[in-house]
Amino acid sequence: MLHATTWPPLTDINPLTLAQLRQARDENRTLRVDNLIVEKQTGEIIGCYVHSQLTPEPYNYLPQVKATAYRPNFTMFDDGTPLEMTAGPEASQQSSADIIQFPQQALLASNAGRPVAVLTNPLAGFLQYFNFDGYSADWIDGYIIGACGIQVEHESGLTATTGRFNVSPSDVRRVLYQSEICTESAATALCNHNLEPMGVRQVERVVQAARIALGGLMRHLEGHPELMEQFEYTLDFEAFWKERSAYLRGESPDNAEAMKLFRQDQTVTVTAVAKRFGVHRNTAGNWKREALMHN
């Protein structure tokens, strides 16, 4: 630490006091030469700067800790119930929270909105045979490419196509290898050019083309049974066309099964059908009226 002090005079004149020395320095009447304080007019050394080691005073008080605002944290149960996870402000800072293992609960799917349209694909396993050498898959590629072109016509309306597809034939083939053709299952197997999950609208286009291609492939196999006989493979064409007709009308498999129950046994209640298929009573009631109307 540097501080100023007086200098013993060379004459008999009384030395300056420390207050006078500070006043002279503050009034800019002095110069500093190294650690000496020299008066400008006379050149007399009237003081000097002394270095001393700073020793802080001992203290016995506790440091003050700034209080922090209490902001609780929450987590959510599977049913949406909030649960506070942070302890209160009175809890110790060094205490650790216990980890609570919650039981696993199945997510409850919402029944709101239009049900997902699912079309069963009976050719999922059959098409795998044509991946081996010696079996021509040209007829499969022809229907897939044709379906891609039809999909463009459906989306463009009356506008003539330029020859470019909205979907990739390889993506359509990948969907045809799945046992069910729907957007949910197709989204798990499709990705874009950046190897990222494909957008919902593009997945819908691929599913639409796959559904068109499946109809053409089934029609071709129905007219050429020798393609199935070489693998000893059989298909239920009647069940497929019936399901496909309901699919095109927007009917779900639950709808068809519920209407079948109402036609077979008219004593079946609407409440029982609603609980069985997980739908609203109004939906089950509409199914019953439609089934009895066409019975």
Q: Which amino acid is at 137?
A: A
Range of the domain at 256: 252-295
Q: How many domains does the chain have?
A: 3
Q: What is the mean predicted confidence (pLDDT) over 23-44?
A: 74
On whether residue 9 sits in a domain, the answer given is yes
In a domain, 114, yes or no: no
| DSSP line for 156-188 | HTTSPP-S--SS-HHHHHHHHTSSEESHHHHHT
Are 123 and 241 in the same domain? yes
Residues 15, 123, single domain; the answer is no
The answer to whether residues 239 and 193 belong to one domain is yes
- Same domain for 182 and 238? yes
Between 225 and 294, the higher pLDDT residue: 225
Confidence (pLDDT) at 266: 81
The answer to whether residue 43 is domain-embedded is: yes
- Between CA 246 and CA 294 the distance in angstroms is 15
Residues 237 and 142 in one domain: yes
Q: What is the mean pLDDT of the chain?
A: 76
Question: Residue 12 pLDDT more than 50?
Answer: no
- Residue 134 maps to a domain: yes
Residue 59 lies in a domain: no
φ, ψ dihedrals at 229, nearest 5°: -65, -30
Kindly state whether residue 91 falls inside one of the protein's structural domains.
no
Report the predicted TM-score, pTM, of the whole model to 2 decimal places: 0.51
98-112, 162-176, 227-241, 253-267: least confident range: 98-112
Sorting pLDDT into bands at 50, 70 and 90, what band is 143?
very high
Considering the domain architecture, whether residues 162 and 125 belong to the same structural domain is answered as: yes
Say whether pLDDT at 178 is over 70. yes
- Residues written for the chain: 295
Report whether pLDDT(10) > 50: no
Please give the DSSP secondary-structure letter assigned to residue 25.
Answer: H
Does pLDDT of 98 surpass 80?
no
Residue 60 included in any domain: no
Average of per-residue pLDDT across 169-191: 91
pLDDT value at position 247?
73
Mean pLDDT of 111-118: 64
145-170: average pLDDT: 77
| Pair (124, 12) in one structural domain | no
112 within a domain of the structure (yes/no): no
Q: What H or E segment, with its residue span, contains residue 36?
A: strand 36-39
